[in-house]
Amino acid sequence: MSENIQSLKNTPLYGKHIALGARMVPFAGWNMPVQYTGIIEEHLHTRSKAGIFDICHMGEIVVKGSVAARDLENLITCSIEEMPVGRCRYGFLLNESGGIIDDLIVFKTGPYDYMLVVNASTIDKDLEWIRRRVSSTTSVEDISSATAKIDLQGPLSEKVLSALIGKDAVEGLKRYWFTHSEIFGAKTLVSRTGYTGEAGFEFFLPNEAAGDLWDKLLSFEGVKPIGLGARDTLRLEMGYSLYGNDIDEAHNPLEANLERFVRMDKDFIGRPALERRGRNIPGRLLIGFVCDGRRAARAHFEVRVEGEKAGEVTSGAFSPCLKLGIGLAYLERQFAVEGKEIILTDGKTVIAAKLKKIPLYERV
């Protein structure tokens, strides 16, 4: 929040947010809407109907070339070379010690073409890391400043998208696949992905077309704008990690409970370090917790087990669906057992909770 307001960047939808009465806050160098009508209301609306999110601050990096797949295979933990065109996968860029430089999604857009969707705060770091490690024939281009991203999430999202681009196009689109469609004359990549745990889609399109798409989506019954506040509580109910809070270069995917996105049967930067550490050696593990009441622990709260410090909270919030405080924390592995009772404290506030594997919220 201490960022200089005058130095913040605005997304192509900034004017739309102001017109809708959004509360704007600094986030990763951008002016972003944190809420419109209220975080709890927006959260529950997304779970029951559909919401749209301005995610234009995210980064997009295009990697092309005859050996681009081989280069990315060496850089990213998920499998790249076997990906068909139209597929996207979640994975990590790791440093030499196995720490997470960034988590990202790889889109295979052509036989030798890829788009990486990266976090806003790590665009420059990711670019430098990738450019220094790809072949001379592989091109790396940052298209973030020209690319808008809008997310449509919630149970009504498929119905809305069918009305927008056609039922056939939507029904054939499986999770973590994408298609191209022309929307308002603009070539738009539409993927069946999201960060809420609900059915949903993400749109990538030129900045100049973002306003028209935003207005069109809001014209559908049951669709409302949703801010970053509800986006955070939605992802936390699912136990999805947030870069900079739950994962970073000080943590690796194994201790972050994200080994399912790491292909240990291939070579990539950071793999030797992960192999040395192993999955079951003593250390920390990221696990969820549910509090006994509505009060939530925040990042850096201490986790205590049987009176002893056992870890630290990385994310915490009130869950609108569970009506309880929830969060994620790194604990010493011997304590990271579902159902174990813990105490969360910042030295002043004391909160009783139980450990729970993710997701923290499951639809009945």
For the chain, what are the domain ranges?
A: 54-219+238-277
Q: Which one-letter amino acid corresponds to residue 62?
A: V
Averaged pLDDT score across all residues of the chain? 96
Question: In whole angstroms, what is the distance from residue 119 CA to residue 57 CA?
Answer: 8
Task: Please say if the pLDDT value at position 280 is more than 90.
Answer: no
* Residue found by looking up tokens 């973590």 in the block: 176
* Residue found by looking up tokens 């309880």 in the block: 324
Task: Please say if the pLDDT value at position 78 is more than 80.
Answer: yes
Question: In whole angstroms, what is the distance from residue 241 CA to residue 29 CA?
Answer: 20
Residue 242: φ, ψ to 5°: -110, 125
Alpha helices for the chain (secondary structure H) = 14-19, 39-48, 68-75, 123-131, 157-165, 167-171, 207-218, 228-238, 271-277
pLDDT of residue 278: 67
pLDDT of residue 5: 57
Task: List, in sequence order, every beta strand (DSSP E) within the chain.
Answer: 9-10, 23-27, 30-35, 50-54, 59-64, 88-94, 100-110, 113-118, 139-142, 147-153, 178-183, 186-191, 200-206, 223-225, 284-291, 302-305, 308-319, 324-332, 341-345, 350-356
pLDDT of residue 14: 98
Q: Which residues contact 64 (CB under 8 A, 6 or more apart)?
A: 110, 112, 113, 114, 138, 139, 141
Query: Which two tokens mark 114?
Result: 């890829």
Task: Please say if the pLDDT value at position 72 is more than 60.
Answer: yes
Into which CATH architecture does domain 54-219+238-277 fall? 2-Layer Sandwich (3.30)
Task: Please say if the pLDDT value at position 314 is more than 60.
Answer: yes
Total-model pTM? 0.95
Give the angle 103-58-128 at the CA atoms, nearest 5°.
Answer: 65
What is the per-residue pLDDT across 132-175, written as a single tens digit (0 to 9) for each? 999 999 999 999 999 999 999 999 999 999 999 999 999 989 99
Task: Please say if the pLDDT value at position 3 is more than 90.
Answer: no
Average pLDDT over residues 34-44: 98
What is the per-residue pLDDT across 219-274, written as a single tens digit (0 to 9) for each? 999 999 999 999 999 999 999 999 999 999 999 999 999 999 999 999 999 999 99
Task: Please say if the pLDDT value at position 43 is more than 90.
Answer: yes
* Residue found by looking up tokens 């808008």 in the block: 148
Portion of the chain with pLDDT greater than 70, in percent: 97
Q: Please report which confidence band the pLDDT of residue 4 belongs to, taking 50, 70 and 90 as the band edges.
A: low
What is the per-residue pLDDT across 169-192, written as a single tens digit (0 to 9) for each? 999 899 999 999 999 999 999 999
Average pLDDT over residues 350-354: 98
pLDDT of residue 1: 41
Q: Please report which confidence band the pLDDT of residue 358 belongs to, taking 50, 70 and 90 as the band edges.
A: very high
Task: Please say if the pLDDT value at position 2 is more than 50.
Answer: no
Q: Which residues contact 38 (CB under 8 A, 6 or more apart)?
A: none
Contact (Cβ atoms closer than 8 angstroms) between residue 37 and residue 229:
no
Task: Please say if the pLDDT value at position 6 is more than 90.
Answer: no
